[in-house]
Amino acid sequence: MFNIVIFGAPGSGKGTQSEYLINHYGLFHISTGDVLRDHIKRGTELGKIASSYINDGKLIPDELMICILENVLDEHPEEEKKGVIFDGFPRTTEQAKALKEMLERRGGKVDVVIGLDVPEAELIDRLIKRGKESGRSDDNMETIKKRLEVYHNQTSPLRDHYVAEGVYAAINGTGSIESIFDSIKAAVDNCRK
């Protein structure tokens, strides 16, 4: 079991690089954003609650989000054994604490945090471009600005938390997708030794 947190601002390439990680290491991928969008698509009660937060660029409350994540793990015991890529979770210190406790109870830990660094102007360009292609409701200028603010205020402090734990690997998230993945692979392989 080898668990990776892929960490970075909206638009930093977490989803794209997760695809490469899945293909290369065969790990189980949990994108909390995808889980929520699936609920919205299916019109579940949770989807109704989540859509107002997502459209507003705000985070789903910690207690609810932590519960959703643990449910996904409970529903996939075999996949969890392979190791998990956590994409979009944790986003707050409360979530990081919960993830640590959750994994400890399950006999695991966060083995490496891959932090993707991308300058703000490039993040905005990428998100606007993605909005045109994907039609995601939160990829519009107003919501993008709010999401970046939320990231700076609530999520980016986690970097120091994971640096202090000795598991943070800073990766330059600009350049070709392949060259970024080469740097990620080097960081992951270094931790797997």
Rule CB under 6 A: is residue 60 a binding residue for ligand AMP? yes
- Asked whether the beta carbons of 89 and 99 are under 8 A apart, the reply is yes
Counted residue by residue, the chain has a size of 193
Interface segment toward ligand AMP; rule CB under 6 A; list 17-25, 51-59, 124-132, 172-180:
51-59
Q: Can you name the residues that pair with 85 across neighbouring β-strands? A: 4, 29
Rule CB under 6 A: is residue 39 a binding residue for ligand AMP? no
Is 136 an active-site residue?
yes
Rule CB under 6 A: is residue 115 a binding residue for ligand AMP? no
State the residue number with the nearest CB to ligand AMP.
33
Burial degree of 69 (CB within 10 A; 0-12, 13-18, 19+): buried
Of 58, 97, 109, 136, the active-site residue reads: 136
Query: Which of 176, 155, 157 has the alpha carbon at shortest distance from 13?
Result: 176
Of 130, 146, 159, 185, the active-site residue reads: 130
Closest CB to ligand AMP among residues 87, 193? 87
Interface segment toward ligand AMP; rule CB under 6 A; list 54-62, 76-84, 156-164, 169-177:
54-62
Rule CB under 6 A: is residue 46 a binding residue for ligand AMP? no
At how many degrees (to 10) do helices 177-192 and 14-25 cross?
50
Query: Which of 160, 168, 189, 183 has the alpha carbon at shortest distance from 112?
Result: 168
Instruction: Give the amino acid at 142.
Output: E
HSE, side-chain direction, 13 A CA sphere, residue 151: 17
| Per-residue tokens: 35 | 């889980």
Rule CB under 6 A: is residue 91 a binding residue for ligand AMP? yes
Is 48 an active-site residue?
no
Active site residues: 14, 91, 130, 136, 147
- Positions touching ligand AMP (CB under 6 A) are 10, 32-33, 36, 53-54, 57-60, 65, 88-89, 91, 95, 138, 147
